[in-house]
Amino acid sequence: MPKTVVKEEVGDKAADASFISDYLPYLLAHASHLISGQFHDQLRARGISVSTWRLLATLSSGDGMTIGALARIGLYNQPTTTKIIDRLEETGLVERRQDEKDRRKALVFITAQGRAMVDDLLGEAKAHEAKVTASYTPEEMATLKRVLRTLISRLEDDA
Amino acid sequence: MPKTVVKEEVGDKAADASFISDYLPYLLAHASHLISGQFHDQLRARGISVSTWRLLATLSSGDGMTIGALARIGLYNQPTTTKIIDRLEETGLVERRQDEKDRRKALVFITAQGRAMVDDLLGEAKAHEAKVTASYTPEEMATLKRVLRTLISRLEDDA
DNA sequence: TGAAATTATATCAATTGGAATATATTTATG
DNA sequence: CATAAATATATTCCAATTGATATAATTTCA
């Protein structure tokens, strides 16, 4: 009769000899949840919503995007993006302009007020990123980011 | 007067010489979004909600968890987890049992029906993971997962 | 020109999050 | 040792966001 060692302490942080601890989608979701969650706490302390941050950060890259492009890059659905932009426009952080060439398109631009807010937040975001990656060498971090970028582009090719 | 080259094509998939394309939280969120989104499509084709999948998958690791542990591991808030478990219990996929030693705790167990469903889904999830990681060598994938695990544990230590 | 595709929005239901509450347990204090 | 304060756990309640489907407007193309 073999003596068996039962793995206890389920129900708390340990207990991870499990499916999810080796499941790539979970690892990505978990890392994403933790790293963004920390920054979202900083946002909340300032009374800025996550969706405001995410769409302003997206827009900071290229002003004058369509709703659809904002949705794709910002990882939101198109109808959700419309509503977020509605709110941002009401608060004066962005404005819509009709595309003259293709009148189906609404191009979104950051206002001066929105630019000031996002510049400030980009600084905070970079500082936060530097803090949480401080224990890695620049080479390690560059490698990780490169691997993630190739994973992303392969996943996009599938779809 | 220096000639300037303007980078155009903003508003579509290109246009990525930007903040977010080098921002680790975005890369993680993007990869997570894409990889999980693909599997969520499969779930929807079966009429299974994402929250059902996520909590059943969490439970598959260690039956008899508390709501709090389920919330932490499943990346949900505690009140949200209560509500999801309510729904799962109504559908007969899980059941609550009061912890005798500490009567504050509600322990959650998978039913036979829930076990059948999650076993099936775990198979699908593994197949999907295999498919999207097929172009990597096992070593590359092991490395990526190891890096993610260390990142996660460092982030957890901060908090 | 007419059909298909693209883009944005409106509408409605359902989920989620946050604050407050209730109950049980543990710790501290006189 | 008894009892009050602090902590842990789960739930309720309300507001707000999100998602899915359907619709409207414009453009493209066959």
Q: Given this model, what pLDDT does residue A159 score?
A: 60
Given a cut of 80, whether residue A96 has pLDDT beyond it is yes
* CATH class of the domain whose range is A48-158: mainly alpha
**A4 close to B (CB below 8 A):** no
Q: Tell me the average pLDDT across A115-124.
A: 96
The H or E element containing residue B109 is strand B106-110
Gap from A90 CA to chain B (nearest CA, Å): 22
Domain parsing of chain B, residue ranges: 48-158
Maximum Cα–Cα distance for chain B, whole Å? Answer: 80
Angle at A21 between CA B126 and CA B156, to 5 degrees: 145
Q: What pTM does this model have?
A: 0.89
| Nearest residue by alpha-carbon distance to C1' of D13 | B79
Give the closest of B23, B28, B122 to A31, CB-based: B28
Pair B137, A156: CB distance under 8 Å: no
Side-by-side strand order, sheet with B94-98: B65-66, B106-110, B94-98
Pair B63, B70: CB distance under 8 Å: no
Q: Given this model, what pLDDT does residue A4 score?
A: 32
Q: Tell me the average pLDDT across A152-158.
A: 89
Q: Given this model, what pLDDT does residue A157 score?
A: 84
| d(C-alpha B7, C-alpha A61), whole Å | 11
Given a cut of 70, whether residue A152 has pLDDT beyond it is yes
| d(C-alpha A147, C-alpha A6), whole Å | 38
Q: Given this model, what pLDDT does residue B101 score?
A: 92
**Phi, psi at residue B112, to the nearest 5°?**
-60, -40
The H or E element containing residue A129 is helix A112-132
Given a cut of 60, whether residue A44 has pLDDT beyond it is yes
* Three-state DSSP class for residue A66: strand
The residue in chain B having the minimum alpha-carbon distance to the alpha carbon of residue A127 is B23
B69-76 CB contacts, 8 Å cutoff, 24+ apart: B69/A10, B69/A11, B69/A12, B70/B108, B72/A13, B73/A20, B75/A29, B75/A30, B75/A33, B76/B51
Interface test with B, best of A30, A72, A143 (most B CBs within 10 A): A30
Q: Given this model, what pLDDT does residue A69 score?
A: 95
Question: Tens digits of per-residue pLDDT, A46-82?
Answer: 999 999 999 999 999 888 999 999 999 999 999 999 9
Q: Give the CA-to-C1' distance from A102 to C5 in angstroms.
A: 14
Give the closest of B17, B21, B152 to A30, CB-based: B152
Q: Give the CA-to-C1' distance from B40 to C26 in angstroms.
A: 43
Question: Tens digits of per-residue pLDDT, A76-89?
Answer: 999 999 999 999 99
pLDDT per residue, tens digit, chain B (159 aa), is: 333 333 333 333 333 458 999 999 999 999 999 999 999 999 999 999 999 999 999 999 889 999 999 999 999 999 999 999 999 999 999 999 999 999 999 999 999 999 999 999 999 999 999 999 999 999 999 999 999 999 999 999 876
Record: contact B75-A13, CB cut-off 8 A: no
Give the closest of A33, A62, A158 to B38, CB-based: A158
* Three-state DSSP class for residue A148: helix
